[in-house]
Structure formats: C-alpha cells, structure tokens
Amino acid sequence: DAGITQSPRHKVTETGTPVTLRCHQTENHRYMYWYRQDPGHGLRLIHYSYGVKDTDKGEVSDGYSVSRSKTEDFLLTLESATSSQTSVYFCAVRGQDFSGNTIYFGEGSWLTVV
Amino acid sequence: SQQGEEDPQALSIQEGENATMNCSYKTSINNLQWYRQNSGRGLVHLILIRSNEREKHSGRLRVTLDTSKKSSSLLITASRAADTASYFCATDESGGYNKLIFGAGTRLAVHP
C-alpha cells in the first residue's frame, strides 16, 4: 500500500467552512498527488507535489490549495467548501519500483458539504 | 479534460468467461496503466505498459497497446466473481511529472 494514510476518512462539513485533508506517507516518496473521484468522471487531478515546497496545479485546482512542508505530509485545503466539492478524495504517491512510474493510492477521504 | 476513455461503461458476464475492456486516449504518452477499484476502496495498480511495448501479460491479465490508434485493451481471462470491480485506464503523458490522467472507468460484474 506504499505506506499511505489519509485523514479524515469521512467528514461532513457546512458550506463556507474551511476543510483540510491530510495525506501521510512513510516511505519517503518524492512525488505526491491529490485526486477527486466523482461519478462519470473517473479520477481528476487536483494538485501534485514533486518535492518539499514544490507543488503545481492539476486539471481541477480551482477552490483548492495544497502545502507540503515535509516529505511525508501533503495537505489539501478547501478554503471555503462548496457543495460541488462533495466528492471522494484520493491521495497518491509515485512508487519506488524499477520503472518509477507506478502510482499507489490511499484508501480515500469521503467529504460531504451540506 | 479526460485523456483516457473506457469502453464499455459497464460489462456483465458469467464466471469463466473472458472480459475485454478498451481504452482510447488523445495525446502522446510515456506509458499506460490499468487500475482496479473495488466498491468503496482505493485504486489498486494492475499493470503498466510502456509506449514502446505492444503486449504485456500478468497472470490472467493481458494488456495490448496500439499507439498508432491511441488505444489499449485489458483482457481478463477465465473471470471470477472476485473480479467484480471498476477498471480504469490511466495515461502518463510524455513530459509530465507522472501525472496520471484517468478515464471514467468500466464497471465489471461477474456473476457466479
């Protein structure tokens, strides 16, 4: 499982409140990713990181920010949650296999914005 | 925008039959990967095929890649009820930071 832990696993929050999801990894992976999964859309990349303090936007980054102050933690923040951000959020890391290309996923964080 | 598009969206078969899922994509890629997702769980990596490979096998899985047609297929032979899941293709675009772009997936149901 590449040592990935997501927290919280489930959260219900109100519109307009800030929310932070945490991804913690224990295997010193350099590359980390946040995806969201919605019915009919598969997974869409929100933000990714290629090192401490090095992050960039994915295809659906509006309304989200990220931070990576240390290798093991990649935080996803919804500054002011909206109902359209109700989704399942997956953290992922790039594995250290021989190809360096396999992406491993956490178990997901279910977020409901009411 | 999605890179990979799976076909069919849903597939229902009997145990023992083969299941074939197709994926089409739009841009040049470094590799293409297939993932499986059981209901309510994270994605599990199944197999990776590089852009210079045409076919790859792993157990009951066979993946083909046709870069001229920008398409791939995943074949699961002798399917089992435990193969019931959603299957996603994901493309790793050339020049990217291994940012996988996923399709919407194929929902496979294998009936005993």
CATH number at residue B19: 2.60.40.10
Only one residue has tokens 């990776």, namely B48
Contacts of B103 in chain A (CB under 8 A): 42
How large is the average pLDDT for residues B14-32? 93
Give the Cβ contact number of residue B65 at 10 Å: 21
| Domain tally, chain B | 1
Q: What is the pLDDT of residue B2?
A: 46
User: Strand order in A64-70's β-sheet?
Assistant: A4-7, A19-25, A73-78, A64-70
What separation, in Å, do the N-terminal and C-terminal C-alpha atoms of chain B show?
Answer: 37
A9-26: b or e for each residue (b if 16 or more CB lie within 10 Å)?
A: eebebeeeeebebebbbe
Query: Measuring CA to CA, which residue among A10, A44, A43, A7 is closest to residue A23?
Result: A7
Give the whole-angstrom CA distance, residue B32 versus residue B100. 9
| Residue B3: pLDDT over 70 | no
B75, A14 contact by CB (below 8 A): no
Contacts of B101 in chain A (CB under 8 A): 45, 59
Q: Which of A90, A99, A102 is opposite residue B42, by nearest beta carbon?
A: A90
Give the whole-angstrom CA distance, residue A24 versus residue A4. 6
CATH numbers and ranges of domains, chain A: 4-109 (2.60.40.10)
**How near does any CA of chain B get to the CA of A56, in Å?**
10
Six token digits for residue B81: 């009820």
Q: What is the pLDDT of residue B1?
A: 41
Q: Which of B2, B33, B98 is opposite residue A42, by nearest beta carbon?
A: B2
How large is the average pLDDT for residues B88-102? 80
| Residue B5: pLDDT over 70 | yes
Helix (H, G, I), strand (E, B) or coil at B81: helix
pLDDT tens, residue order, chain A (114 aa): 568 999 999 999 999 999 999 999 998 899 999 999 998 778 999 999 999 999 999 989 999 999 999 999 999 999 999 999 999 999 999 876 655 678 889 999 999 999
**How near does any CA of chain A get to the CA of B43, in Å?**
6
> Which tens digit of pLDDT belongs to each residue from B41-60?
889 999 999 999 999 999 99
Domain range enclosing B94: 5-111
How large is the average pLDDT for residues B88-103? 81
Q: What is the pLDDT of residue B13?
A: 96
Q: Which residue in A101, A104, A107 has the most chain B C-beta atoms within 10 A of its own C-beta, making it the best mutation to test that interface?
A: A101
- Concatenating the DSSP letter of every residue in A88-107 gives EEEEEEE--SSSS--EEE--
Q: What is the pLDDT of residue A84?
A: 96
Give the whole-angstrom CA distance, residue B77 versus residue B21. 12
